A = this chain, B = another copy of it.
Amino acid sequence: MAAQTDDSGPVLPPAIEGAWGLRERAPKGPRPGMSVPTIVDAAVRVADADGLAAVSMSRVAKELGAATMALYRYVGSKDELLLLMVDTGYGPSPGPPPPEVDWRAGLSRWAWAEHEVLRQRSWLLHVPISGPPITPQQLGWMEDGLRCLDGTTLAEGEKMSVLLLITGYVRHEATLTSQVAEGSRAAGVEPSEMMPAYSRLVARLIDPARFPALHRVLAAGVLNQDDDPDDEFAFGLDRILDGVEALIQRRAG
């Protein structure tokens, strides 16, 4: 005869339900001195300033002038806090595509928006993701991506696959870029000197007879020139969109 929460499908952590606005008030007891958003914002501030590794429960608590264990009244575990940090860190999605643009321009805009977020918050890439998206903002990004493909002839499942394809690319490219940046900071090398140094290292290691193709790449100086990283990103994105375009035309024709 206990209260039935719902038709209760899979169980959602309380703090996540809170993010969706479905959370019963607490009519008894003292007024809470903090809130989940306060805590998450503090954690995001720490990550922005000192990286994800600096985000410990005690550090976040210190940021709020509270004791470590006080946080556990609001979040069930550090993993839960991380999940909420991702939601906040990504921020609101770029919104549905402007009506006058075609799917390609829309998806491009969508991809660049995520690219920009990840450039400024590279710690997002270090959060171990532990499941499919369930937070409001994450599903908002998904919605906006799907809308870009609204006018096309793709099946719903294909739209989804296309989005996964693009997000995956954006994340991977951002991962590589931030690794170079972090590596150069760790080694105390000028960022512009990072790739040349890497190129020299590989050249020293490999035997041209066993690694001919790689040797040719090095000889071409590909890794030396520091061309605009945005060009590199645009290259891959265009390849993917070309592939999508081929599919759309096949479905249409």
Residues of chain A whose beta carbon lies under 8 Å from any beta carbon of chain B = 6-7, 9-10, 12, 20, 126, 128-132, 134, 139-140, 142-143, 146-147, 150, 155-162, 164-165, 167-169, 171-173, 175-176, 179-180, 182-183, 187, 189, 197-198, 200-202, 204-206, 210-214, 216-217, 220, 222-223, 232, 235-236, 238-244, 246-247
Contacts and interface: CB of A to CB of B under 8 A. Distances in A.
B232 A197 contact: no
Question: Chain A: interface secondary structure?
Answer: helix
A205 B246 contact: no
A131 B187 CA distance: 11
B161 A129 contact: no
Nearest to A8: B204
A157 B222 contact: yes
Contact of A172 (B139, B168, B183, B198): B168
Among A155, A161, A183, A232, the one with the most B-chain Cβ atoms within 10 Å of its Cβ is: A161
